[in-house]
Amino acid sequence: MQATPDSAVPHAAENRVIEPLYAEILRRNQGEKEFHQAVREVLETLGPVLAQRPEFVDARIIERICEPERQLIFRVPWSDDSGDIHVNRGFRVEFSSTLGPYKGGLRFHPSVNLGIVKFLGFEQIFKNALTGMPIGGGKGGSDFDPKGRSDAEIMRFCQSFMTELHRHLGEYTDVPAGDIGVGGREIGYLFGQYKRITNRFESGVLTGKGLGWGGALVRTEATGYGCVMFTAEMLRSRGESLDGQRIAVSGSGNVAIYAIEKAQQLGATVVTCSDSDGYVVDEKGIDLALLKEIKEAGRGRVAEYAERRAEAVFVPGAGVWDVPCDVALPCATQNELHEADALTLVRNGVKAVAEGANMPTTPEAVRVLQEAGVAFAPGKAANAGGVATSALEMQQNASRDSWTFAHTEERLAEIMRHIHDSCYTTAERYGSPGNYVVGANIAGFELVADAMLAQGLI
Ligand code: NDP
């Protein structure tokens, strides 16, 4: 995955305040290129708000918000089914508790390092603020590769990971959830070990739990559904709808599958999905039951989808963005949609791009899309439905209640409309109408910065 060079200074960093701050962040966090990218993307939009609110500059809000409250790195030893011992590295970055307990997922993937966890944790602060729910920002994970591991190996790894992490968690302190490589199975093993060590059935300490033991309906679907709901709102503001649109989705994990499901429910035809081996094109529209069977039940690869469905073609080793579409939903991982892909999408007439994944679109690609007038939704707005529904799960845990699917989905839809509208109006208020990146960054930042001012120098 390609990232931007460390030396690049923010666009709007002519602003005398932001430029030296960003240079200092590069100096103090060397080699963390995804973190630099995420910080730069936020800072380069904050000029107008800093000009109007000098108290944020005086209180050094940016310096404080870019420095995690706490960063944990720990050893995770475990043994495989043959008895061989492995040592992985665990991370939890507790970035901001300004609005509530640290909240953000755990990622298990061999690429995980401190810079990636920090980029995700940083994004999470603003995303969580945008939901309007009382949750702070954090993120964690490990460079453990779950691919090809047995259930017993996954369980031993999760137990070892939680044996260290549990001392830092709590329903009022830090509440992890899933992310890449961490789904319902892993949350189950993590929760079981937390319960065993602490001797507490503290259901609000993790979200994404099974429905029989504290989980919430719609949590599984929430990120993908929310992303499509946000896309529908963007199109609505341009007098269009999703009905009849042709959609390209990347990824085939949790976010991708439920983005496909909601898009189909709203009358769109989704023609692609992918994994790290390549992508599938299915001109008739993805057969979601088959995809779920392969990916969710069988933990298989998308290549198998094309083997089992005559209408579909598998293209190895390539991304999906060459496939013409009206709407593109990148739902796999960071920096997966590059400038050349954006140029192709624009050439093929794309109208909207919404990030189901975190930071999948490179800054150069975002610029191409925005300059071409494409409606572009950044992940911190478009994929916030997942964490918002996690907060709804925490509400249900606290009140020992469980809500129906329809009620929870309606709450999710309300939250996504609220996020859309607040990004839209904030962008207008700060002189960038239609720019959801500006709207999301400033709306999230103002909420956190105001609360930081109120809470004093901590
Ligand atoms: P999953 O593990 O369920 O699925 C990830 C998908 O992305 C898989 O298809 C995977 O393919 C693909 N992928 C992962 N890494 C790469 C890579 N380096 N190159 C190409 N493809 C890759 O994860 P999720 O669906 O949960 O997460 C997807 C994205 O959405 C991430 O950016 C995550 O941070 C973000 N997100 C997730 C939320 C959630 O609630 N789950 C909430 C908000 C954001 P393969 O199997 O080959 O690795």
Span 233-266, pLDDT tens digits:
999 999 999 999 999 999 999 999 999 999 999 9
* In the predicted structure, residue 197 carries a pLDDT above the cut 70: yes
Terminal-to-terminal C-alpha distance of the chain: 36
CATH code for the domain in which residue 11 is found: 1.10.285.10
Q: What is the CATH number of the domain that holds 105?
A: 3.40.50.10860
Instruction: Note whether residue 84 is domain-resident.
Output: yes
* Cβ(250)–Cβ(336) below 8 Å: yes
Over residues 37-60, mean pLDDT: 95
**227 in helix, strand or coil?**
helix
**pLDDT at residue 298, as a whole number:** 86
Considering 139, 195, 295, 351, which one is annotated as catalytic? 139
Question: Does 176 reside within a domain?
Answer: yes
pLDDT at 329 over 70: yes
Instruction: Say yes or no: 257 and 356 in one domain.
Output: yes
pLDDT of residue 5 exceeding 60, the answer is no
Q: Within this chain, do residues 124 and 61 fall inside the same structural domain, yes or no? A: no
Is 273 in the same domain as 364? yes
DSSP result, 322-371: GS--SEEEE-S-TT-B-HHHHHHHHHTT--EEE-SSSS-B-HHHHHHHHH
Query: Angle formed by the axes of helices 114-130 and 436-455, to 10°?
Result: 90
What token pair was written down for 213? 């033991």
What are phi and psi for residue 320, nearest 5 degrees?
-85, -5
Got the DSSP string for 148-194? T--HHHHHHHHHHHHHHHGGG-BTTTEEEE-BTTB-HHHHHHHHHHH
Q: Are residues 370 and 245 in the same domain?
A: yes
Place of tokens 């602060």: 125
Write down the residue that tokens 């490589």 correspond to: 181
pLDDT of residue 2: 38
pLDDT band at 12; cut points 50, 70, 90: very low
* 386 part of a folded domain: no
Distance of CA 120 from the midpoint of ligand 1 (Å)? 13
Using CA positions, which residue lies closest to atom 5 of ligand 1?
253
Average pLDDT, integer, range 312-331: 96
For residue 132, pLDDT over 70 is answered with yes
Q: Do residues 90 and 74 lie in contact, with contact meaning Cβ atoms separated by under 8 Å?
A: yes
> 250: domain CATH number?
3.40.50.720
The minimum-distance atom of ligand 1 relative to the CA of 386 is 40
Question: Residue 152: is its pLDDT beyond 90?
Answer: yes
Q: Are residues 230 and 316 in the same domain?
A: yes
pLDDT of residue 299: 86
At residue 286, what are phi and psi to the nearest 5 degrees?
-60, 130
What percent of the chain clears pLDDT 90, i.e. is strictly above it? 94
**Residue 126 pLDDT:** 98
139 is catalytic: yes
Residue 211 lies in a domain: no
Residue 382 lies in a domain: no
CA 382 – ligand 1 centroid, Å:
15
Mean local confidence (pLDDT), 218-243: 98
* Any domain includes 118: yes
pLDDT for res 131: 98
> How much is the pLDDT for 318?
81
> Are 358 and 243 in the same domain?
yes
CA–CA gap between residue 46 and residue 37 (Å, rounded): 15
Summarize the confidence of residues 196-216 as an average pLDDT: 98
Any domain includes 360: yes
- For residue 448, give its domain range: 1-66+434-458
Supply the mean pLDDT for the chain. Answer: 95
Q: Which of 342, 359, 377 is the last residue of a domain?
A: 377
Res. 10: pLDDT tops 80: no
Q: Whose CA is nearest to atom 34 of ligand 1?
A: 358
Please state the pTM of the whole predicted model. Answer: 0.95
In tens, the pLDDT along 63-73 reads: 999 999 999 99
- The alpha carbon of 400 and the centre of ligand 1 are apart by a number of angstroms equal to 31
Same domain? For 181 and 237 the reply is: no
Pocket of ligand 1 (CB under 6 A): 178-181, 223, 251-256, 275-276, 331-333, 356-358, 383, 386
For residues 202 and 427, what is the distance between their CA atoms, to the nearest angstrom?
A: 40
Q: Whose CA is nearest to atom 39 of ligand 1?
A: 179
User: Are 174 and 35 within one domain?
Assistant: no
If asked whether residues 8 and 20 sit together in one domain, one would say yes
pLDDT in tens, 180-189: 999 999 999 9
Give the C-alpha separation, 445 to 98, whole Å. 12
Look at residue 319 in the predicted model and tell me its pLDDT: 85
Question: Two tokens at 426?
Answer: 């904030």
CA of 333 to the centre of ligand 1 (A): 5
373 and 237 in a common domain: yes
Query: Which one of 119, 142, 179 would you pick to mutate in the ligand 1 pocket, going by the greatest count of ligand atoms within 8 A of its CB?
Result: 179
Specify if 387 maps to a domain: no
Q: Are residues 189 and 121 in the same domain?
A: yes
> Probe ligand 1: pick from 108, 147, 180, max atoms within 8 Å of CB?
180
Q: Examine the domain organization and report whether 320 and 353 are in the same domain.
A: yes
Count: domains in the chain: 3
* Cβ–Cβ under 8 Å, residues 382 and 202: no
Whether the predicted pLDDT of 297 surpasses 90: no
* Buried-state track 74-89, b at ≥16 Cβ within 10 A, e below 16: bebebeeeeeeeeebe
